[in-house]
Structure 1
């Protein structure tokens, strides 16, 4: 378990679901600039930054090729990491084919499953959130296919011009593959990430569960000292999590 203790006047930030590149590179460009502006703002007092997946609407790493574009956000992440601020990246269902590019080029660790962190003596379980809890069976089956080594090996033999275009098309058009849900609150008793968190609490205590994926900014008390936070997205809400003085709250970025 990684332990983080914030210095005086420092904060920990969380963001998720930027979906850069969707529905087109041109359409997402203003959102990329806005997200870079947010990174510029939070680097002033960040102890650490957590990115919880779907930064890109589609991402695949060939042997020597990655998808074209995203220069501004990648450059900003490199600048922040080089300045000494830790960044932790969790893959989502849209960028699940991320391998070691971030680790080698940016020195940013990449996680494919939820991880425990101890931040200011509070226990966090952090991840993207896709495929967790009951239901969502169609996506869970499809995810097993897409993460199967043979399928990944076959896909990489497509020419990048074809592979990336196909991946971008399927990412936007096919909801079973993307795993996206309609961003409508289902009620606490039906939100599968809430049910997942409650099940985890029967095994051990967590002060905070922090996820993305649902594209809804949510703060739900699970027990007296345990809370589920969903970070929303950077398509409609432009919300992020800010941990300050031991309390995690959601904020909206307005540049």
Structure 2
């Protein structure tokens, strides 16, 4: 695909809207909506790389209450003709077809390749990738197993959503207790994952979220691993102008 003249591609991840409470999350939602309103002026495409919500589950006729401002803004941008792609994260992995049917936004549950202006991209949320974190990988299989989702769906939404939100807020990344520091290339699982992917196919940019640390690391010849950071403490996003990629702060 070719980017239109004077247009850009934008990337954002890990807003965790709804955490630690809807009231405390509201200013961050307002800020993210303001960012969407700003980038629509020259956005060719927008990529959202998961954990937009701190919890999301789609019952057959019910979705979690709230988030009307961000959902309305996404609908506005899609209706104006701006393509938006959504990759589920580990907090909103139970997303099905609501975004596709209501907002006309494709939803991906794993990495996907794109090419813009002859630059190749590998894009995804990043959870469960690379070596290590075997406990989470096993748990993710349980969470995504159809029978597990079927069981959860039988809980009344008032109970199911409340329980899930309680467990989600226990996440130390949200509470601020986590020691989120750069571990060095040899210990950053997504860096190692990016290098392994490059052994079989070349990408100019391997872009992920999940880690909550904004970083750009050279992982090969004309190849960069990018983590988009988050909208909890960093408020960072990525932008590709057709030739170069840059991390920026809003």
Match of 2:4 among 7, 25, 30: 7
In structure 2, C-alpha distance between the alignment counterparts of 1:235 and 1:174, rounded to whole Å: 13
Match of 2:239 among 234, 237, 242: 242
Query: CA RMSD for the aligned pairs?
Result: 1.2
**Structure 1 stretches of 4+ moved >4 Å:** none
1:41-95: CA deviation from partner (whole Å, max 9, x where unpaired) = 0000000000000000000000100000000000000000000000000000000
Q: Secondary structure, in 3 states, of the residue corresponding to 1:218?
A: strand
In structure 2, C-alpha distance between the alignment counterparts of 1:17 and 1:195, rounded to whole Å: 21
TM-score, structure 1 length as denominator? 0.95
Match of 1:26 among 23, 27, 30: 23
Match of 2:135 among 125, 133, 138: 138
Q: Is the CA contact 2:3–2:242 (under 8 Å) kept in the aligned structure 1?
A: no
In structure 2, C-alpha distance between the alignment counterparts of 1:102 and 1:174, rounded to whole Å: 25
What are the ranges of 5 or more consecutive residues in structure 2 without an aligned counterpart?
A: none
1:13-64: CA deviation from partner (whole Å, max 9, x where unpaired) = 0000000000000000000000000000000000000000000000000010
Match of 2:107 among 101, 106, 110: 110
In structure 2, C-alpha distance between the alignment counterparts of 1:140 and 1:48, rounded to whole Å: 31
In structure 2, C-alpha distance between the alignment counterparts of 1:181 and 1:57, rounded to whole Å: 16
Q: Is the CA contact 2:116–2:242 (under 8 Å) kept in the aligned structure 1?
A: no
CA shift, 1:224, in A, is 2.6
CA shift, 1:245, in A, is 3.5
Q: Secondary structure, in 3 states, of the residue corresponding to 2:101?
A: helix
TM-score, structure 2 length as denominator? 0.97
Q: Is the CA contact 1:58–1:95 (under 8 Å) kept in the aligned structure 2?
A: yes
1:137-180: CA deviation from partner (whole Å, max 9, x where unpaired) = 110010000000001000000000000001101111156xxxx9
Q: Is the CA contact 1:181–1:214 (under 8 Å) kept in the aligned structure 2?
A: no
Counterpart for residue 40 of structure 2? 43
What does 1:1-255 align with in structure 2 at a 5 Å threshold?
4-173=1-170, 182-253=179-250
In structure 2, C-alpha distance between the alignment counterparts of 1:198 and 1:245, rounded to whole Å: 24
